[in-house]
Amino acid sequence: MTSYQPEPYKIKMVEPIRLLPREERQKCIEKAGYNPFLLRSDEVYIDLLTDSGTGAMSDRQWAGLMLGDESYAGSLNFYHLEETVQALSGHQYVLPTHQGRGAEQVIFPLLVERQGQYVLGNMHFDTTKAHIELAKGRAVNFINAEALDTAKEHPFKGNFDLAAMEQFIQDKGPDSIAAIVTTVTCNSVGGQPISMDNIRGAYEIAKRYDIPVVMDSARFAENAYFIKQREEGYANRSIPEIVKEQFSYCDVFTMSAKKDGLVNIGGLLAVREDKSLFQRCQALVVPLEGFPTYGGLAGRDMEALAIGLKEVVDEDYLTQRISQVGLLGKLLQEAGVPVQSPIGGHAVFVDVGRILPDMPKTQYPAHAFAVALYVESGIRAVEIGSLLYGRDPETGEDGLSDLELLRLTIPRRVYTDNHMRYIADSIARVYAKRDQIKGIAFEYEPPILRHFTARFRLVD
């Protein structure tokens, strides 16, 4: 047996990439207001900003694009997608959306019935938190304590602190809780999986207090793979079986299909059995996303998604996918770079809080590291920390995060292991010169999801 995992596919098409000279990279990041989000793609050498919509589709998916039925209503591709989702998840009612946040903008205003109601989660991601707050709700996290110690090995750092969450429900009263959101895998703490036992436990608490459960399922297949590898009783279960059990412990799921759907655009909103809730969702989809049988997508996009949902539960694919992310993590650990351990599913998360312990959180150390990394190597990465966390919607105070992480997000079926080696070498060089990294301060700060379009200056 080899010590590495060959890709379970052949490469049929390539896209040239070019590393700009360092002087040009410096000018590019200055022009972008020291915000990697505002760089042009042709200014980036290796793009690790996100795994959302950046993957490569298969030959079967490209062939599926030719089967697009671009009917406004009743597209045949929708019915193929609906059947695929029903078989995969066991949820009866399916609505396509243009992406995950399209599903979030539909479901949260229906669940948050009164201003100030709480939405509880293991750890809400940025767009989820934003849509909860736009619906006048309050997002509260109940991540387990192990997740906040990046040096500690724990198989399921995405788990809820179930005892703390139930105590909160009792203290505030069940009527004050609009929903529980189970995020699989948990992006904000390092792409960390949540165990089936913990998913089930959160659902049981919710049912005790008659609280609906929404699963943020963007990376559902990667989470299922970790359950198979790490949780007792699942080693001999197939990935589709594990996936279906995961989905049985929620009433609704939202999905950015641009991750584990293996497509470049698309999302899903599905309801397990509550027809009344589905009809209310359906009514909102029409003005917000489009007719219920296309939801902002072309027929060909839905066909590619239906095929991608079948491909993503292939264990050979998942083994190589997780192994490549693991390779990058291992190379960084060997270079002495602190990362969230164990390595997660879709990205390696560098613990910049440990690298720059004296930099104030209000100078956003992980974002500052991302700026330095781009100048050094042409690599675009993203901060997951106090900048992303945003401000308290009531007080306006900066919501300082427990973790200051730099996310190195690996697109699916795009980069080779040699790219992983270049990334690791580049990170190691920036790490070695960490005392030269300057903090950042706002020049322009948007009110919502500020990290996407903010502009900054370096702090002298």
From 234, 451, 454, 456, the catalytic residue? 451
How many Å apart are CA 44 and CA 25, to the nearest integer? Answer: 9
Would you state the pLDDT for residue 460? 82
* 218 counts as catalytic: yes
* 126 counts as catalytic: yes
* 259 counts as catalytic: yes
pLDDT tens for each residue of 45-90: 999 999 999 999 999 999 999 999 999 999 999 999 999 999 999 9
User: Which residues of the chain does CATH 3.40.640.10 include?
Assistant: 59-311
From 69, 126, 251, 260, the catalytic residue? 126
From 27, 31, 42, 72, the catalytic residue? 72
Q: Name the fold adopted by 59-311.
A: Aspartate Aminotransferase; domain 2 (3.40.640)
Q: Please, what is the average pLDDT of the chain?
A: 96
123, two tokens: 């750890």
Pairing of strands 177-183, 118-121: parallel
Among all chains, which residue has been given the structure tokens 């497509």? Answer: 263
Contact, 91 vs 271, CB < 8 A?
yes
Would you state the pLDDT for residue 179? 98
Among all chains, which residue has been given the structure tokens 């998942």? Answer: 318
The CATH number corresponding to 22-51+315-458 among 3.40.50.1100, 2.30.110.10, 3.90.920.20, 3.90.1150.10 equals 3.90.1150.10
From 103, 135, 139, 218, the catalytic residue? 218
Would you state the pLDDT for residue 1? 54
Among all chains, which residue has been given the structure tokens 């675009």? Answer: 380
User: Which residues of the chain does CATH 3.90.1150.10 include?
Assistant: 22-51+315-458
* 451 counts as catalytic: yes
Would you state the pLDDT for residue 23? 98
From 91, 157, 259, 361, the catalytic residue? 259
For the chain, which ranges sit under pLDDT 50? none
Would you state the pLDDT for residue 2? 65
How many Å apart are CA 187 and CA 332, to the nearest integer? Answer: 19
